[in-house]
Amino acid sequence: MSSQELADFLRRRRESLRPEDVRAEAVLPPGRRARRTPGLRREEVASLAQVSVSYYERLERARAPRPSPQVLSALARALQLTEAERDHLARLAGQVLPTENDGAPEDVPADARQLLARLDGIPAYVVNARQDIVAWNAAAAALITDFSRLTPDERNLTRISTRFRDTLCNAAPGSEPGFSQQIAAQLRAASVLHPSDNALAELINEFATRDPEFASSWRNHAVRPIPGVRKNLHHPTLGELEIDRHTLALPGSAFSLVMYTAEAGSPSATALKSLRPLRSPGAE
CATH number at residue 233: 3.30.450.180
254 lies in some domain: yes
Residues 147, 40, single domain; the answer is: no
272 lies in some domain: yes
Residues 141, 253, single domain; the answer is: yes
21 lies in some domain: yes
- Report pLDDT for 6: 92
Residues 117, 218, single domain; the answer is: yes
**Residues 6 or more apart whose Cβ sits within 8 Å of residue 237:** 276
Residues 239, 130, single domain; the answer is: yes
Residues 259, 159, single domain; the answer is: yes
* Backbone φ, ψ for residue 133 (5° rounding): -80, 110
Residues 144, 251, single domain; the answer is: yes
Domain final position from 64, 92, 120: 92
Domain final position from 65, 92, 119: 92
Residues 142, 32, single domain; the answer is: no
Residues 156, 117, single domain; the answer is: yes
Burial class of residue 255 in the structure, from the number of CB atoms within 10 Å of its CB (0-12 exposed, 13-18 middle, 19+ buried): buried
105 lies in some domain: no
Residues 73, 190, single domain; the answer is: no
256 lies in some domain: yes
- Report pLDDT for 162: 64
Residues 126, 214, single domain; the answer is: yes
- Report pLDDT for 106: 67
Q: How many Cβ atoms are within 10 Å of 280's Cβ, its own excluded?
A: 9
Provide the residue range defining the domain that includes 122.
Answer: 110-283
- Report pLDDT for 46: 92
102 lies in some domain: no
Domains contained in the chain, number = 2
58 lies in some domain: yes
- Report pLDDT for 174: 55
Residues 149, 257, single domain; the answer is: yes
Residues 79, 115, single domain; the answer is: no
98 lies in some domain: no
Mean pLDDT per 10-residue interval, the chain, length 284 residues: 85 88 56 66 91 93 87 91 86 70 65 87 90 91 86 85 55 66 86 82 88 88 79 82 89 86 91 70 53
Q: Would the pTM count as exceeding 0.85?
A: no
The CATH number of the domain holding residue 76 is: 1.10.260.40
Contact yes or no for 230/261 (Cβ under 8 A): no
- Report pLDDT for 88: 87
- Report pLDDT for 280: 47
| Half-sphere exposure for 160 (CA within 13 Å, toward CB) | 27
Q: How far is CA 38 from CA 11, 18, 90, in A?
A: 11, 8, 25
